[in-house]
Structure 1
Amino acid sequence: DAYPPFEIDPEYPVAVHVEKPATPSKGWAVAGIFFLRFVVLIPHFVVLAFVGIAGVLAVWFGYIVVLFTGSLPVGIQDFAAGTMQWSLRVTAFAMGLTDDYPPFSLQVTPAA
């Protein structure tokens, strides 16, 4: 694996695409002004704290597995990817990039 660069390179293979809502919700916009988006995300923050701890432990265990087998099990990869995607969905909602309330899911969404 190549170490990720420290500069913005359009050729680097990571890209994030967020679809702009056709009709943005004015209600969520007002909620964002008064930080209500963060209030409705409290359950996500609590659950993600525990899932994040489990993710760190799973990845640490994965390092040991890779040391002896040479490959990372698919379950650990999916758990880590699901945790990151869930966290990014919550962050996107909190920042107003989407009006879709994030699901409580570790399901990995394939890249487009």
Structure 2
Amino acid sequence: MTVRLVEPARETGTEGVPDLLDPCRWSAPVGRVDSLSARERRVLVLLGIGESNRSIARRLDISERTVKAHITRILAELGVESRLQAGLVACAWARARAAARRPESDPAGTRAA
């Protein structure tokens, strides 16, 4: 699904297309991720990697109906309108967490693990 959204921008150029990965764009929703329950955060992470409701349900051993309820709450809590936006918030949140874990002497995360 994400590829279908990105490909037209590649074909026509990026002028006028908002930078969906711009951290400033998602800073407010990222700040709200900690208000989600642990299970909701797990669902959010799985959304971020593009999992379907069925796949999320199987991975977490819950019903699809429960997954849908979690997603509805996640969208409301983060103040976003779609799964795609929630997935982008998940990616931005993961990047922020990774950056916070890096030593100050390696701000770009270039040191080999």
TM-score, normalised via structure 1 length? 0.32
Q: Which has the larger radius of gyration?
A: 1
